[in-house]
Amino acid sequence: GAVVSQHPSWVICKSGTSVKIECRSLDFQATTMFWYRQFPKQSLMLMATSNEGSKATYEQGVEKDKFLINHASLTLSTLTVTSAHPEDSSFYICSARGGESSYEQYFGPGTRLTVT
């Protein structure tokens, strides 16, 4: 099956610093990657959709200058949380679409970010 990895799995950073999260599709080419955020006891919230080689499309209310997304290749997308604040602490999950199925999204294991 299609495998998606994320790195790091958890990170603690100080307020005001930036954090980069990587999402990789290991055994297929991901034409589209999605970034989600999930707060405790809440459902997934789509932050942005990115296609390889083009700018990401951000959902309403998500600051594109704060959450920088780079989809540089068909197997790698990165999310950088700039000038992180405690309210950015959350579970960030990426998913990738491609491979044999056009519709299914394959999820990475998630990255838990804590901003102190």
Partner 1 sequence: GQNIDQPTEMTATEGAIVQINCTYQTSGFNGLFWYQQHAGEAPTFLSYNVLDGLEEKGRFSSFLSRSKGYSYLLLKELQMKDSASYLCAAIDSNYQLIWGAGTKLIIKP
Residues contributing to the site for partner 1 (CB under 8 A): 34, 42-44, 46, 49, 91, 93, 101-110, 112
Nearer to partner 1, 78 or 111 (CB): 111
CB of 70 to partner 1, least distance (A): 21
In contact, 71 and 54? CB cutoff 8 Å: yes
Q: Are 84 and 91 in contact (CB under 8 A)?
A: no
**Shortest distance (Å) from residue 52 CB to partner 1:** 16
For partner 1, the closer CB: 82 or 110: 110
Kindly state the smallest distance separating residue 4's Cβ from partner 1, in Å.
9
Nearer to partner 1, 20 or 112 (CB): 112
Secondary structure E strands in the chain: 4-7, 10-13, 19-25, 30-38, 45-51, 57-58, 67-73, 76-81, 90-98, 101-107, 111-115
The tokens for 79 are 């999310």
Nearer to partner 1, 34 or 67 (CB): 34
Residue 31 Cβ vs partner 1, minimum distance, rounded to whole Å: 11
Burial bucket for residue 93 (CB in 10 Å: 0-12, 13-18, 19+): buried
